Chain A
């Protein structure tokens, strides 16, 4: 499972980005997305496009944690979202690992960019990462999000931070990494 976590300001500008991989089940914590290295912009495209759904979901869902809101099927990327009162939004893109057997069906040029997807949801391992829409995953993401929210509030209260500014604090980054290790 690979993760791409973004905090968006109320004006849709990203103020914090981090990509990491799972540490559960022997994972080494390094993100391995299905896109080739030249196409990492796809993560941002997918996150950006899910804002459409987010804008809709935030009015129809009462909670701050909106759970899994969007999917990008060609690369089986799943988006979970969390709203903060200040208007910043946390978006987590998670992508189950690619099975070595899959990808045989799509040896086409067009699909290389989309990232080939296989029947990954039926992976054999029972870890949190295996099934992105399971309640366990939702719960783990929720824990992660609330821990991030805590750190975010502390960072945002810093007198040197203005709303909408990019978060450069290494402390914040390490806290997010730790939360990712802990929950995802």
Chain B
């Protein structure tokens, strides 16, 4: 029972905007199509000059369904910013859009490396204009390691990754991060608002997607939201992503007693006052860095010292040669320091790495570096990761897998797990060894496992495997331990293991073709979310797991997209996000439904109407939030989505829907123009007589916005009703071809 509109071979685009519907593929080049449209408009001018009288008969002939007349159509579906409506086929953009999201999620779980620099090092770096010291200097460079990083997984096959990263944290902030934080969710909302306000006047809202041609899969705003969300969680006991995998201990060549300082820094970080909280495992890798001041110190001295360091501390050493003077823009080989991608909401609010503060400070705080310095830092980070940290992690995973996991996995381990659940007297304690460990490992007063306990070790191993992108091992390990946490009533651990198990199963590209797996993934998210929210009332983590569920399920495609949409609705239902977040999630629901493709060869299976509905609802909310440009973007998206399922003229069959959408369009248009400083109220509302409407429309649009010049061309096509749909479609490609 398909609608008859589907039966006709071609139909004119429902919106008058050029190139929205069927001929979408050719409109991948917005400028070009706009140019042709404007040329067409000029050609059509002759017609429109006389049109106010001539089209009326045809229009009135069709009056019972007013919407089918081209004039009223133009009044209705005109949303501002038509230049942006060039969206390619929704399917070709989707894949790289979701790849992007996947990569973002993967990179969010990068290994953490703590930085502990001596006073003289920080002083040297502060001289260069980095107020935060050495950490501040290296942090932006760690986010992408140049070149490929090869990682071997547990079964010995290696894979190269282009987008590997590392997250540097300041060791001073590591322990304290847990205490001093007010709700990160409220902060996130604030960041979004700020971003909206600042992005409003640039390119008509951040949604505009200036980089890639209209990929509907994601918007910059929701990407920002995701990044914020993933970087907002500080180090916690129940997961080890925030725990340092290694720590860099840095001194500079200015130091008078270098080796003693290094020893002292080491001692402070392992036993002294800088000691990390008890729930962090203490035997992480130490890496020693000597920073050589190129301008003031002698390289021969430094090399000698470096050799000494290597003798004392082994191979995990590096000599970093930096210039100590500050670099300014005007210097010959100055390059700009890349902006930090992973700023937590708090840092965003305090203005770290924000462009505006840099402008305010002029040259004072501008992060510029000498090219040689940047190269040196990149080399240092690459060496740190490729030669020390990653082998260390691989080694750890192998050892733990061998010593802890395999014992737990073996028959005796399983027996132990069973016997723990149903204790048969004292016999359960025998023959288990270190792997057995019963529920006594969980410290119920402080709510964490001792880092040496097998549970914590397994969790750490799984996290390591996850960070090394060995999702298969990670998933199986999480799967192994998740019930243990439940038995111990360690609910946060329980939730975390379920969450990460589901996430790693979804990230693993090979596994999970069967539908059954999808259901178990769903169940795991459900459990995680319940444990986080109800048992621990930890809203940020619950939001994180649900958002990951939405994004990853969406990127799976197929029937998983519907599950994704359901999770997104759950997020809204739980009230985890505030007003802007709500709207963002409405957009996500729309995107999820939109990414469901029809069954091959059949007309059914897509979710265009649902996607369209959610886009319209989002548009309504954006308008209420006072963001007409975003609303119009959503509206346009909705038009595009509805194009395939509605009748040829883009009219809704249901009267109340139609009225609502008409009113919404009008309101968006009025507000949009008002926001741009035009008085749009003289523009006649839709209910006005057709003739006057058309005239005012034409004058208004053409005098103000180039983007709407495509309008008369469509009118023209409508006027020549003798050759309806096919005519317009044939015309357009021809024009394109000639001008190409």
Chain A residues within CB distance 8 Å of chain B: 8, 10-14, 40-41, 43-52, 55-56, 58-59, 73-74, 83, 87, 89, 105-106, 108-111, 113-114, 117
Contact = CB atoms under 8 A, between A and B. Distances in A.
B718 to A, nearest CB: 21
B617 A114 contact: yes
Contact of B583 (A8, A46, A56, A110): A110
Nearest to B656: A41
Interface in B635-682: 645, 647, 652-657, 659-660
A106 B604 contact: no
Interface stretch (B246-254, B264-272, B463-471, B573-581): B573-581
B573 A59 contact: no
B405 interface: no
A164 to B, nearest CB: 10
B638 to A, nearest CB: 11
19 contacts: A8-B653, A11-B4, A41-B657, A44-B657, A47-B654, A50-B609, A51-B609, A51-B645, A52-B608, A52-B609, A55-B1, A56-B604, A58-B604, A59-B602, A73-B566, A87-B1, A108-B579, A110-B579, A111-B582
A34 to B, nearest CB: 13
Contact of B582 (A46, A52, A59, A110): A110
Nearest to A45: B613
A87 B4 CA distance: 12
Interface of B: 1-5, 566, 569-570, 572-575, 578-579, 582-583, 586, 593, 602-610, 612-613, 616-617, 620-621, 624, 645, 647, 652-657, 659-660
Listed from nearest, the 10 A-B pairs whose CB atoms lie closest are A110-B582, A55-B604, A44-B654, A41-B656, A49-B610, A41-B660, A13-B653, A49-B613, A49-B609, A56-B604
Nearest to B562: A53
Contact of A83 (B1, B5, B593, B609): B1
A1 to B, nearest CB: 20
Contacts of A50: 609
B654 A48 contact: yes
A11 B3 contact: yes
B573 A55 contact: no
Nearest to A118: B573
Contacts of B647: 11-12
A12 B604 CA distance: 15
Nearest to B596: A52
Q: Which interface residue of A40, A52, A87, A114 has the most chain B CB atoms within 10 A? A: A52
B617 A52 contact: no
Nearest to A105: B575
Given A12-B3, A45-B616, A114 B572 contact: yes
A48 B608 CA distance: 10
B653 to A, nearest CB: 4
B621 A113 contact: yes
Contacts of A89: 1
B605 A56 contact: yes
Contacts of B1: 10, 55, 58, 83, 87, 89
Contacts of B578: 108
A56 B609 CA distance: 13
Contact of A41 (B570, B583, B608, B659): B659
Contacts of B607: 52
Given A52-B606, A110-B586, A111-B575, 6 more contacts: A10-B3, A11-B647, A12-B3, A48-B657, A105-B574, A114-B617
